[in-house]
Amino acid sequence: MKNQPLSPELYEQHLEVTRRYFMQLGTVGLTALNTQGLWARDSDESLLTDATEDLEYLTPPNEFRTVERGKPLPYTLPLEKRLELGLERRTWKLEVIPDPKSNVQMVNPLSREKGNALDFKGLMKLAQKHAVRFLKVMTCLNMKEPLGMGLWEGVPLRNVIWTTKPTANIRRVYFYGHHNEDPKQLFQSSLSINRVLEDPPGDNPIILCYKLNGQWLSGRRGGPVRMLVSDAYGFKSVKWLKSVVLTNNHQANDTYAKGNNDIDSPMKSMARFIYKPLKEKAGTPIAITGLAHVGISGLSRVQVWINPQDKKWPKEDPCFTKAHWQDAKILPPPTKWGGDLPEGKLPSDVRFFTSEGQPKHWPMRYTIAHWATLLKGIAPGKYDIYCRTIDANGIAQPMPRPFRKSGPNTIQKTSITIEI
């Protein structure tokens, strides 16, 4: 399993986004930008050149970070082998079958054995009528930073399930991908049949996903087809998908449950720093930027708090609820979306966007929003700076769900020295 730190690409993209905000702030912002080293970490010309380019919100597919198991990793096999195993669009097949240990009733299972499994052509036929596209941030339940922000496209899983004519005794859907026929390498996940068949208003369907940012899903990203569960952490979005099993078993079988993870946890709202200066001169506004991860309860505010290091906070208030938090600015939706989309343009039929390509609301759940702020009038000394979200219910991070194994959302801290 590979866990990589926040990618330099994501960092640079973010600088492009936030640069516009600081430009809009006018002279104060510009002074901070030009003379006080907002770009100090990469102060060379090339970054400033980059920063004047168009804003990028989506992560280019090959710049996503990856969480994967498998020896060998399926997409590293030679083409011939990938074709043989159905890991290419030309030969891919999905079976949708009843659990042999269960009493599921379905008329028309799609079975590899019987030779009627769904192939890519069949999936594309369904796509003509049912394909959907939506924005979703990919985040691992066990990592503090998102892996990447994408525009995903696929066919709702229920449209395939209905072709199998299921009639009774189904409570859960199990699914897994290619695992080198080695049970020890099996990575599986599951959902309630109810969540698959019906979406709460404002949520996206569970999809069989074959495109990311308008491009065919690469092997590294889980192609030819992966499950994509927009409201959940990454482990539900099984890559190299080949099998869907309907069962009357009411229990989850997720591989992630074995790691003490809460496998029923929708994504949480949380704020993360991106640009955080280590030192600054007194009298200069301190520029801070970050991203907000927008969970099931949405996002109403992002806040920042700066506290002198020698001023210890009372232990009775470990989440700093009584601290002097100040609102940061949540940046508006981008006009160019980046992520290697042609001309940075979103296609016309993205869920929760108008036909003119405008989001119907912002921030949007299960995506990210950028934020920025300037702290002013800070006396020389050493400080800690914290950031947090307030969700759309008015609840501050890390509430309402503070337990670590239901997803990351501890309050992040960074330190800064203000020099005379």
Ligand X SMILES: Nc1nc2c(c(=O)[nH]1)N[C@H]1C(S)=C(S)[C@@H](COP(=O)(O)O)O[C@H]1N2
Residues forming the site for ligand X (CB under 6 A)? 64-69, 138, 140, 147, 177, 187, 221-222, 234-235, 237-240
- Residue 138: which of Mo ion, ligand X, none does it interact with, CB under 5 to 8 A by kind? ligand X
Phi-psi category of residue 306: left, alpha or beta, with phi > 0 → left and psi -120 to 50 → alpha: beta
- Residue 240: which of ligand X, Mo ion, none does it interact with, CB under 5 to 8 A by kind? ligand X
Minimum CB distance to Mo ion smaller for 21 or for 256: 256
In angstroms, give the least distance from the CB of 273 to ligand X: 21
Minimum CB distance to ligand X smaller for 67 or for 87: 67
| Cis status of the peptide bond prior to 72, with omega within 30 of 0 | yes
Residues 273-286, buried b or exposed e (16+ Cβ, 10 A)? bbbbbeebeeebbb
CB 416, CB 278: distance < 8 Å: yes
Minimum CB distance to ligand X smaller for 291 or for 375: 291
- Residue 119: which of ligand X, Mo ion, none does it interact with, CB under 5 to 8 A by kind? none
Tokens of 108: 């028309």
Question: CA-based Rg of the chain, rounded to a whole angstrom?
Answer: 23
- Residue 331: which of Mo ion, ligand X, none does it interact with, CB under 5 to 8 A by kind? none
In angstroms, give the least distance from the CB of 238 to ligand X: 4
- Residue 147: which of Mo ion, ligand X, none does it interact with, CB under 5 to 8 A by kind? ligand X
Q: Which residues are at the interface with Mo ion (CB under 5 A)?
A: 67, 140, 234-235
In angstroms, give the least distance from the CB of 176 to ligand X: 7
Minimum CB distance to ligand X smaller for 187 or for 325: 187
In angstroms, give the least distance from the CB of 326 to ligand X: 33
Minimum CB distance to ligand X smaller for 140 or for 292: 140
In angstroms, give the least distance from the CB of 64 to ligand X: 5
Minimum CB distance to ligand X smaller for 224 or for 234: 234
Minimum CB distance to Mo ion smaller for 233 or for 337: 233
In angstroms, give the least distance from the CB of 195 to ligand X: 18
Candidates 301, 302, 304, 323; CA nearest to 312 is: 323
- Residue 273: which of Mo ion, ligand X, none does it interact with, CB under 5 to 8 A by kind? none
Candidates 413, 409, 410; CA nearest to 385 is: 413
* Secondary structure (3-state) at 24: helix
CB 150, CB 212: distance < 8 Å: yes
- Residue 98: which of ligand X, Mo ion, none does it interact with, CB under 5 to 8 A by kind? none
Supply φ then ψ for residue 303, to 5 degrees. Answer: -130, 155
- Residue 325: which of Mo ion, ligand X, none does it interact with, CB under 5 to 8 A by kind? none
Q: Report how far residue 414's alpha carbon sits from residue 385's, in angstroms, rounded to the nearest whole number.
A: 5
- Angle, nearest 10°, between helix axes 8-24 and 27-35? 140
CB 363, CB 298: distance < 8 Å: yes
CB 282, CB 420: distance < 8 Å: yes
- Position of minimal CB gap to ligand X: 234
* 52 burial type by CB count under 10 A (0-12 exposed, 13-18 middle, 19+ buried): exposed
In angstroms, give the least distance from the CB of 85 to ligand X: 13
In angstroms, give the least distance from the CB of 2 to ligand X: 9
Minimum CB distance to ligand X smaller for 230 or for 289: 230
